[in-house]
Amino acid sequence: MTHFDQSTLLNMLPRQFFAALTKKAAQYVNAGHDVINLGQGNPDQPTPQHIVDSLKIAAERPDFHKYPPFQGQLFLKEAAADFYKREYDVDLDPEKEVAILFGGKAGLVELPMCLLNQGDYMLVPDPGYPDYWSGAAMAGAKMDYMPLTAQNGFLPDYESLDHERLERAKLLLLNYPNNPTGAQANPAFFDETVDLARRHSICVVHDFAYGGVGFDGVKPPSFLQAEGAKDIGVEVYTLSKTYNMAGWRVGFVAGNKSVISAINLLQDHMYVSLFSAIQKAAADALTGPQDCVRELSNMYEKRRNVFIRACRKIGWDVTAPAGSFFAWLPVPAPYTSVEFADVLLEKAHVVTAPGIGFGIYGEGYVRVGLLTDENRLLEAVERIGELGLFVDKMRKK
C-alpha cells in the first residue's frame, strides 16, 4: 500500500502529551484493575433534561433539517447577548459582536489563524491548556510564555514581561477560572490586562470555559466586564461545562467586532454552522432556568471540599482551587510530575495528569479532575495515602 506523507503543517503540530497517559491507563483497565481516572476533563453528569427536551422538539422541525445560515442562527446569537447582559451586565450586538463556534476549543485554535501571520508572536500562559499551542502551530506563530506561579496567585506577572516581548506580541491568551491550576482572576487583573493590551496593541483572547464554576460565593468575572475590553479583545464561552453539554460541541466568542468578523470569515470556508436543533437547544440553555448551573457548581464545590480535606488528612499539603473542576496538587520530593503520576497509576491505580504536560512551569504538580462522585474521590485519596508518600508530614503535625 502506498504511503502518503503528512503535510508540513501536520508535522508541525505539538505532540499530544496525554495520549500516552490514556494508553497506559487503558492497559491497567484491560488487565482487570479498578482504575480511578482523575486525569481527564470530561464532565461526568448528564445534560439537564430541559435542554435535552429542547433538542428533541427542535429535531422534529423540518426547517431545521436544511443547511443553517453560514454564520449561525440569529436566535442563538441573541441568546448569547441576553446571557451576557443578565449574568455580567455586558451589552453585545448579537449580529456583530457574537460568533457561533463548534465548541470553545475550535475557536481557541482558529483565532490565532485569523489574526496572526507566519512568525508573529503570541503570549500564552504556562502552565496552560495544550491546545493553545495547537492554535499557534496552525497559524505558524511563535509563542512567548507567561509563567503562572503560586507566588502570584497563578496570574501572569505583566511587570516581568520586558518591553520587547510586549511590543512584538499580537495576541495574548488568558483562561480564568484556570485550567489546570483552578485559580480565579479578579476585576482589577482584567482592568490591568486591558490597559496593557491597549498600550501595546495586543488582542486579548480570554478562554472563559469554566465561567459557570466558581467557589466560596465568588462568581467568576467576565473579561468583557472590564472597561474597554471589547475595544481590545474577545471572550470564548462554551456550554460544555456550564450546562454539561461537552458532547454537543457548541459555544460562542463575543467581543471586538473586527475579531468576530475575522472568525466568521474563516468559518465560512470551513463549515455551514451547527445543526439548527443544537443551536435551538443551546439558546434555550442560555435563556432558560439556571438552577442547573448553580446546582452543578455547588456539586463541584462539595467534591472539592471532600477531596481537599482528605488530601490534607493524609499529610498532602494542598491548596483548594477557587474555580473550575480541577485541583492542582504539589508533587512530593523526590519525584517529577511524570514519575509521581506513574507511581499513583502503577501502585494505587489512580490516574492524574502530570503538570509538565501543561508547560515547563507545570512541573512539580499533578492535575486532578473532580469528575467522579465523592466516594470515589475519597477512595482515590485513601489509596494514595496507603502508599506512605506523606508519612513524614503527618509525623510533623
Q: What is the DSSP string of 110-150?
A: HHHHHH--TT-EEEEEES--THHHHHHHHHT-EEEEEE--G
162 and 231 share one domain: yes
Q: What is the CATH number of the domain that holds 139?
A: 3.40.640.10
Q: Is the pLDDT of residue 397 over 60?
A: no
> Which residue(s) pair with 253 in the sheet?
99, 236
225 and 311 share one domain: no
Cα separation of 170 and 195, whole Å?
A: 15
- At a CB cut-off of 8 Å and minimum separation 6, what does 11 contact? none
Indicate the number of domains in the chain.
2
Q: Residue 183: in which H helix or E strand, if any?
A: none
**What's the confidence (pLDDT) of residue 20?**
77
**What's the confidence (pLDDT) of residue 393?**
56
Place of cell 514581561: 161
Once rounded to an integer, what is the mean pLDDT over residues 250-272? 95
Would you give the DSSP letter of residue 255?
E
At 41, the pLDDT band (50, 70, 90 cuts) reads confident
At 392, the pLDDT band (50, 70, 90 cuts) reads low
Closest by CA position to 136, among listed 109, 167, 170, 114: 109
35 and 66 share one domain: no
Q: Helix or strand or coil: residue 166? A: helix
- Given 287, 302, 324, the domain boundary residue is 287
pTM: 0.95
**What's the confidence (pLDDT) of residue 19?**
77
Cα separation of 278 and 47, whole Å?
A: 13
Q: Would 258 be classed as within a structural domain?
A: yes
297 and 171 share one domain: no
Residue 384: domain span:
8-46+291-396
Would you give the DSSP letter of residue 375?
H
303 and 283 share one domain: no
180 and 310 share one domain: no
At 21, the pLDDT band (50, 70, 90 cuts) reads confident
Angle CA 126–131–134, to nearest 5: 105
Q: What is the CATH number of the domain that holds 384?
A: 3.90.1150.10
Cα separation of 253 and 105, whole Å?
A: 11
- Asked whether the beta carbons of 247 and 43 are under 8 A apart, the reply is no
68 and 204 share one domain: yes
255 and 325 share one domain: no
159 and 296 share one domain: no
297 and 279 share one domain: no
Amino acid identity, position 134: S
**pLDDT digit string, tens, across residues 45-95:** 999 999 999 999 999 999 999 999 999 999 999 999 999 999 999 999 999
